[in-house]
Structure formats: structure tokens, C-alpha cells
Amino acid sequence: MASTSGFVTSEQDVDGVRADGDTAEVRQVIDASVGCERLVQRVIRFAPGRSRERVAEGRQEVLYVASGTGTLDLEGTEHDLEPEMGAFVAAGERYAVVNPGPEELVVVSVTAPQTNGVGSNRQVTVRYADREPLPATANREFRYLVNEDAGCLEITQFLGLIPPSKAPHHVLEYDEVVYVVEGTGLVHLGDEAIRMGPGTCIHLPPQTPHCLENDGEQPVRVVGVFHPSGSPANAYPVNKSP
């Protein structure tokens, strides 16, 4: 069983691992060791060049480009990568990432088991700018990146925008991991408040009372991934049942 208390860390507090001959430094920030049984969140920093080929049998993967540009070579077909873009890799598919440099290409990766196939409307990459803004809790908004509209039937990836504010504590029915792209504030888990900023990584098990507070002057941007598929708008106050 996953922990009901949630978990918060920072990518800066996790050692990176780079395999021989690979351009990718991988920081595995959230996994079963911290109570997240089904989702694995990694921050991957690709140095200039072509990475080693990657594949995950039985697990699908969604990528979010936090910074940098490059190319996703998926099964021999190239797809451009740019900031604020999501990408969907189905279980068993092989890919490599090409970074033309000179700067790093930083990607937030989340994997989950894949038990269903891929939808007929498959999209490999999705641009944030091409997605419609939708309302979430309080005065916040989000845009779907990879979800069923892109043929990903079991997980949902979205980018959320939090203006200066604090939403009421609420719960979700999904298992969720979150990565803070920019901005600062507080993660409220029950009665505990934890500082968050760029690089903060959060696991929110189902039915965990929480809220994210932006106590600064600039918007906070977060990329979140749900399992199973769902919507950030399907949130319930802690004093009510779903």
C-alpha cells in the first residue's frame, strides 16, 4: 500500500547517475521506496550529443521538457523537443534523445504500468501552446499535455498555473506526482507546510489532504501526472466525500 502521508523532496537533494557512454544524468526522485508504488518520477539531464537507447517493457512513459531543445528519436522517427512540451512513449518502444547543445536538455520523466493499448489518435509530442486552458480548483488553470486525446489511455500529464493564492485543502482520487517548474510557495500536507521551489518533487497518494500555496508575487508552474487518467478539476474538499 502507498503511504497516505505524501512525500516531498528536491531534485537537488538526489544524486545523479550517468551510465557509461550515455549523455543522460538520471535522478530518480520518487518511486516505491518512498511509498509511490506505481509511478516513478525521474529528472533527466541530457548533455550535448545522442543518448543511449532507452526502453521500458510493460511501462509507458511521459516526458516533459523543462528546458533546452533537441530531438526525440522514437523507433526511427524524429520528433522535435522544446520547452513546455509533453511526449508519450508507449511500453516497449525504443527511443534516444539528441541534444544539439550547447546547453543541457532537461526532461521530467514519469513511468507507469501499461495494461491497455494505445489509442488510435496517438500523438508523440504535444505543445503547451496548442492546448486549451481549463479551470481547476480556486482561481487556478491547467492545460492537458499527454492524455487520452493523445492516445495515452491510462495516465494524464498536465501543466498547471498557480497565481499568488492558497486553495482550500482538497483530495483527489488519483495517485499523483508533481514537479515544480518555476515559482516558490508551500506544499501543505495535512497540518504540515513544506517550502517548494524549482526542482521540488511531490508525491500525493489518493485521498491525501493537500494544497499548493503560492506565497510569492509570480505564478507557480507545475507539471503533474495522474494515474489512472483523470482531471485536476476533479478535486474534493476534505470535509466531503467524492
Q: Which of 38, 36, 43, 80 is closest to 60 using CA atoms?
A: 38
- Between CA 102 and CA 187 the distance in angstroms is 34
How would you write the pLDDT of the chain (242 residues) with one tens digit per residue? 234 589 999 999 999 999 999 999 999 999 999 999 999 999 999 999 999 999 989 999 999 999 999 999 999 999 999 999 999 999 999 999 999 999 999 999 999 999 989 999 999 999 999 999 998 766 789 999 999 999 999 999 999 999 998 877 877 788 999 999 999 999 998 788 999 999 999 999 988 888 899 998 899 999 999 998 877 766 656 654 44
Span 128-237 CATH architecture: Sandwich (2.60)
The answer to whether the beta carbons of residues 144 and 157 sit under 8 Å apart is yes
The residue among 107, 105, 59 whose CA lies nearest residue 87 is 107
Cβ-based neighbours of 100, under 8 Å, separated by 6 or more = 48, 69, 70, 71
Residue 113: which of 180, 40, 187, 46 has the closest Cα? 40
For residue 82, which of 95, 100, 69, 99 has the smallest C-alpha distance? 69
Predicted pLDDT at 240: 43
Backbone angles phi, psi at 5, to 5 degrees: -100, -15
Cell of 143: 492545460
Ranges for all domains in the chain classified under CATH 2.60.120.10: 15-127, 128-237
Q: Pairing mode, if any, of strands 95-99 and 70-74?
A: antiparallel
- The CATH number given to 15-127 is 2.60.120.10
Closest CA to 32 of 40, 22, 24, 44: 40
The structure's pTM equals 0.93
- For residues 35, 36, 40, 41, the Cα torsion angle rounded to the nearest 10 degrees is -80
Those residues whose C-beta lies under 8 Å from the C-beta of residue 28, and which sit 6 or more positions away, are: 14, 17, 40, 41, 42
* Burial class (CB within 10 angstroms; exposed 0-12, middle 13-18, buried 19+) of 218: exposed
- Angstrom distance (rounded) from CA 42 to CA 202: 12
What are the DSSP calls for 20-78, one per residue?
A: TT-SEEEEEEESGGGT-SS-EEEEEEEPSEEPPPB--TTEEEEEEEEE--EEEEETTEE
| Alpha-carbon 18 to chain mean position | 21
